[in-house]
Structure 1
C-alpha cells in the first residue's frame, strides 16, 4: 500500500505511532507533506490553547529561512494581546511528546518547530518516491470544480516570445521566451490546460519598410541560402537610410507636443522619400495587393520555419504561431463599429483615436486607425482578444512581455471595460519583466544565441575536466548543458531585476548555475546506477544511517518542495524555484564532503533511498523551469 491514497498514508503514520490525521479544510496532505505536519501541529496547538481549530492551522507558517525551523508559529497570530515570552514558555512546557516533532524552540515572538529526525525520513522518502514525477504538482488547482472532475480543467492562453519578422531576436524576446515557457510549465503542473501562443510581429509598417528595401537591396540567391539572415541584412540597410527622416518627423511631433513653434509639418516629411515608400507598400498589403502579399508571405513563412526549427533546442514548443496578420478582419470591423457606436472613439487629425482621459482612464491617446487609413496595433490587439476568447473560451490569458508594455496593456483593459467587457478584461494578466538597458549586446538571431551558449559551454567543460568526466564533453552535451545555462541565468533573477546576460558566467559551474544543477543530477545518476532499494522494505533500524545532521538537513529541504512550487505559482517568480534548487545542491555538497570522497561511495540502503528521492526532486524542479536533465548516457 502506497502513500498516494489517504488510507496508505494513514497506515504509514500509524506505523510511526501517530493517530488519525486531523482534518482541516485548507490541508492537502496527499500533495504536501508539510500539510501532514501542519495538521498534527494545529491539533496540538488547539488542545493547548483551546482556540478555534482553523485559527490554529492558519497560524502555522513556513519560516523565511528553512534552516531555522520546518514550521513556525507567530505567537500573536495564535492569541492576540498575550505577552509572547510567557505565553511561549507555557506552550513549550506543556507541549506533548510527539513522534513527529521535537520540542519547540522560542525565538522572540515565534515558536519554531523541527520534525523528529527519526520520523522524517520514514515518512518523507516513501512519500516522494511514491509520487515520483508528480511530487510538487497539485492538479486540483486547475480544476473548474474540485468536486466535479468531469467538467475538466481551467484553460490558460499564454502569449510569449513574440519576435518581429525581419528583426533581431532582442533580449526582451529571449527573456519573454524563457519566462513564458516557465509559466506554461507551472500552470500545466497545477492542472490547467495550457495553449501556448507565439504572436509574431508579422504585420505593420516595419514590413512596409522591408518591402521598400527589398526592391533596392535583395538577392534571391542570398534569400534562398539563408532567408532570415538576408531579411535582416536588407531591413538594416533600408532602416539606416530611413533614420534621418524618422528623427526629423519625431522632432516636429515633439516640438508640437511641448508647444514650441516649428515651421515644418510632419506631412511634408511623411508624404515623400522612404516614409512614402514604406507607407505605400504597407497600404498595398492592407488593400490585398497580390504581389505585395506574396512577398510578405515569403517573409512570414521563412520566419516561422526558422523558429519552428530552433525553439525546440531550448526545450520550447508552441501550440500556435499567430500574429497581427492573423487577426480576423471582421472582428476588427466589429470592434471599430462598437467604439464609434458607444462614443468611445473619435476622429483626430485624420486618425481615429480613443482619448482615455475623457473616459476616466490614464491620459494619452490610443490610436485605432492611422490617418493613412491603416488599422493600428491596438485595434488588432482588441480584436485578437475577442478572437481567442471565442475560439478557446479561456479562463485566463497571460501576456509575458517586458515592462515597457505596462501602459499598453492597462489601456487595452480599460477599453474593454468601456465596451462593457469587464469580465473579459479581468481574465487578462500581464506578467512583466524588466527590459534592461544592459542587454542590447545580445540583440541577434535566436540561432546565434543558441550557438554562443554551446560554444561557451564547450569551453567551460574543457576547463572543468572533473565535471566533464561526469557529464561528457561532446558537442551534443555542450549544446544541451549550454541551454540549461542560458535558462538558469535568466530564471535565477527576479523578473523586476536589471541584469545583463553574461554567457561566460552562465556556463560556469558556480552556485545556482544550470551546469551545476546538471552536474549534481548526473553525479547522483551515476552513483545510483548500479543498485535499487524499495523504501517500504527498510526497517526503522535501516533509517538510522541517515539520522545524522547533514542528511536531516537535506530531508528538511526536500519536504519543502511542494510548498515552494505553490509559492512560485502564486507569484510567477521562477527565482524562488532556482534558489530552492541551489539549496539542494548546496546540501548535497555538504553530504558528500562529510561522507566518502570517491565519486561512487558505498551507500547504505537508506542512503540510497535518500539520494534517489533527492535526484527525483532535483529532476522535478529542473523540468518545471524548463531544464532537461543530462547525463553522460543521454
Structure 2
C-alpha cells in the first residue's frame, strides 16, 4: 500500500483477513505492530470494509503526511471518472480540499506544486501501483487484480445495498421525511402536468428509503375549494347519475368543461359560491355529492398509480383541514398577524418594514379558507402527527411563491421547524402530443408509449419472445418517459420528443432496459458463478478496467443526488455504465472463452447488471429481463 516514507510499510498484510489473501506473501514478524497501528487508525477490523478498504491505505499514509485524521479525507478522495480517450487513475485526492488556503486567490500553480510535492513523498507498494500528480490532484492507481477483487466482491456481496453503505453517508443522520407529491385534483382526470410531480416525488422517496431514512409518502389531493362549488352546480345542471357510475372521471370532466363556459354568468358564480359555502357548513346533501366525486376519483387514481409503480402511505387532502384552517386563522388573529382589508379579506403582512409591500391573503371576505390556509393547517398537523425531521413539497415552479409565503407565515407563527421545509420545484413539459393531438391526460400518454413500444418491439430483429409483451412494453415505455424527464435539471422546462425518447440506442430509457435485459440473458445462458471460483487476474483488458473503475463511483453519485435531490446524476451514471457494459460485451466474450476467463467476465457483467438494476429502481424504473 501507500507508504509515507522510504521504508516499505506492509499495510497490505492486513488483507490476509480477506478471502483473496492468497495472492500475497505471509507477513514477517516485524510487520504486526504496523498492522495493529493501522487497524487502530481505522477503528476496528469490521470497519475495514469496502470503502475503508478501497481508500484505507491511501488514508493512512495521507493522514500521516498531512497530519489530518483519516475521516477528514473521506470527501477529499474520489474515484476518477472513466475517460474514453486516455488511461485514468482509480482515485484522486483534491489538494484544494485539504489545503487551508483554498480560496479563489490561491493560484492553480500553487496547488499543482503542492500536488507534485505530496506525490513525491508517497511511495507505491502492494496495493498502490502508481502515484502521479495532476492539475491540483494526487492520483492513485490500484493493482489491477486487487481492484477487480475488491469491487466485484463488494458489489455482489452487498447486492441492493451496494453504494449506500459508503462511509460518505456515515455522518449523515437518519431522518424521518414527509414527502408530499403528485397531489392531483379530485373530480378531474389525472392531468399530464402531475406526471413530473409523481415521478420526481417517487424518486426522492426511493432514494431516501435506500439510504436508511424513514419516509412517509403523502398524496395531498385537491379535494376542496371554490372549484367544487362550480363542479357541484355543473353536475346539478348537466350531470347524469348513470354516466357518473359508468365513467365517472370522463363524465365529471365533461361537466366541468360545460359549467366553465357558463361561469361568466354572475348568477352561476353566485350559485357556485353558495354550493361551496354549504360544503363548508357540512350540508348533508352537498357533502354526499362531493363524497361521490372524491371516492370515484381516488379509485381511478389508484389504478393509474399502479401502472406507474407508485404507492402512497397516506391519502390526505384539503378537505381534511377545512375545520383546522379556521383554527389557524384564530391563531393568526391571536398573534396579531391577521389583518383585514377594506373588502373584508384576511391578509398576513410579510414585508420586512411591515408596510404591506409583500403580503399573503389567507381568508376570503366571507370567512372561508384558502389554499394556503389549508396548507398551513396541514403542515402543523403533520408535525404533530409524525414529528418529522424534514418535509418536502414536490410541485411545479409556478408555486414557488406560494411555498415561500407558506414557510414565512409558519416562521412568523413561531414554528422554527419551518426552516426544515423544502420545496423541490420542476419545469414544464412542452410538446407532448399523441397521434390524436395535444395530450391532456396522463393515461393517454401511458397508452401511447405502450402502443409505440409494442410496435417497435414487433419490428426489431433483436426482440425476444416475452411472456407478457404488453407488460414489457409498459415497463420499457415508462423507462423512456422517466429518463427523458430526468436527464436535465428538474427546474428546467424541456421539449418532449417521442422519437428521441423511444430510441433503442443512445442515452434513453429504452437503452437502459435493453442493456439490463441483455446482461440478464448472459447470466441465464451461462449460469451464476460464485466469486470464490473466479480468478479475477484474468480481467486485465482496458474495457474490463473501465467498467470496474465506473462501479467505484456509484456511492459518490448517490451522495451527490442525496444532497441536491436531482436525479440527473444517477441517470448520467447509469447511461455511462450501460455504454461501457455494451462495449465490454462485444470485446470480452463469455461464450467460446477459456472457462477461467469466461467465469471472470461473467462475474464482471453480473456486477454491472446488479448496479444498473439498483439505480434504475431508485429512479422508479422496473428493470425488464427480456425484450
Q: Which residue of 1 aligns with 2:471?
A: 476
Matched residues in 2 for 1:363 and 1:100: separation? 65
User: Given the superposition, is the C-alpha separation of residues 347 and 84 from structure 1 closer, same or farther in structure 2, using an over 3 Å criterion?
Assistant: closer
Deviations 1:160-185 (A, max 9, x none): 00011233533431000000000000
Deviation at 1:311, TM superposition (A): 0.3
Deviations 1:145-169 (A, max 9, x none): 97xxxxxx53211100001123353
Deviation at 1:66, TM superposition (A): 3.9
Confirm or deny that 1:499 pairs with 2:494: yes
8 Å contact from structure 2 (residues 74, 168) kept in 1: no
Q: Which residue of 2 aligns with 1:65?
A: 81
Q: Which moved more, 1:386-395 or 1:351-360?
A: 351-360
Confirm or deny that 1:426 pairs with 2:433: no
- When normalised by structure 1's length, the TM-score is 0.85
Q: Which residue of 1 aligns with 2:582?
A: 589
Matched residues in 2 for 1:599 and 1:489: separation? 38
Matched residues in 1 for 2:167 and 2:98: separation? 29
Deviation at 1:563, TM superposition (A): 1.9
Q: Which residue of 2 aligns with 1:110?
A: 137
Q: Which residue of 2 aligns with 1:263?
A: none
Matched residues in 1 for 2:362 and 2:473: separation? 48
Matched residues in 2 for 1:627 and 1:362: separation? 48
Q: Which moved more, 1:511-520 or 1:186-195?
A: 511-520
User: Given the superposition, is the C-alpha separation of residues 567 and 24 from structure 1 closer, same or farther in structure 2, using an over 3 Å criterion?
Assistant: farther
SS at match of 2:128: coil
SS at match of 2:602: helix
8 Å contact from structure 2 (residues 115, 134) kept in 1: no
Matched residues in 1 for 2:367 and 2:45: separation? 57
The 5-angstrom pairing of residues 48-197 of structure 1 reads 49-54=65-70, 57=73, 60-62=76-78, 65-67=81-83, 68-79=88-99, 83-138=110-165, 154-197=175-218
Matched residues in 1 for 2:220 and 2:145: separation? 53
Matched residues in 1 for 2:280 and 2:617: separation? 43
Deviation at 1:280, TM superposition (A): 1.6
8 Å contact from structure 1 (residues 336, 379) kept in 2: yes
Q: Which residue of 2 aligns with 1:313?
A: 307
Matched residues in 1 for 2:45 and 2:568: separation? 25
The 5-angstrom pairing of residues 286-305 of structure 1 reads 286-305=280-299
Q: Which residue of 2 aligns with 1:393?
A: 387
8 Å contact from structure 1 (residues 527, 599) kept in 2: no
Matched residues in 1 for 2:623 and 2:446: separation? 18
The 5-angstrom pairing of residues 7-86 of structure 1 reads 10-12=17-19, 17=24, 33-47=50-64, 49-54=65-70, 57=73, 60-62=76-78, 65-67=81-83, 68-79=88-99, 83-86=110-113
User: Given the superposition, is the C-alpha separation of residues 119 and 143 from structure 1 closer, same or farther in structure 2, using an over 3 Å criterion?
Assistant: closer
User: Given the superposition, is the C-alpha separation of residues 56 and 214 from structure 1 closer, same or farther in structure 2, using an over 3 Å criterion?
Assistant: closer
What is the CA RMSD across the aligned residues, in angstroms? 3.3
- When normalised by structure 2's length, the TM-score is 0.85
Q: Which residue of 1 aligns with 2:454?
A: 458
Q: Which residue of 2 aligns with 1:212?
A: 233
Q: Which moved more, 1:500-509 or 1:274-283?
A: 500-509
SS at match of 1:156: strand
Matched residues in 2 for 1:142 and 1:52: separation? 20
Matched residues in 1 for 2:557 and 2:521: separation? 27
In structure 1, stretches of 5+ residues that fail to align are 1-6, 147-152, 246-268
Matched residues in 2 for 1:508 and 1:471: separation? 20
Q: Which residue of 2 aligns with 1:559?
A: 552
Q: How many residues align?
A: 587
Matched residues in 2 for 1:343 and 1:327: separation? 22
Matched residues in 2 for 1:190 and 1:8: separation? 28
Deviation at 1:379, TM superposition (A): 1.0
8 Å contact from structure 2 (residues 345, 363) kept in 1: yes
Matched residues in 2 for 1:361 and 1:158: separation? 35
Q: Which residue of 2 aligns with 1:222?
A: 243
In structure 2, stretches of 5+ residues that fail to align are 1-13, 28-34
Deviation at 1:451, TM superposition (A): 1.0
Q: Which residue of 2 aligns with 1:536?
A: 532
Q: Which moved more, 1:114-123 or 1:433-442?
A: 433-442
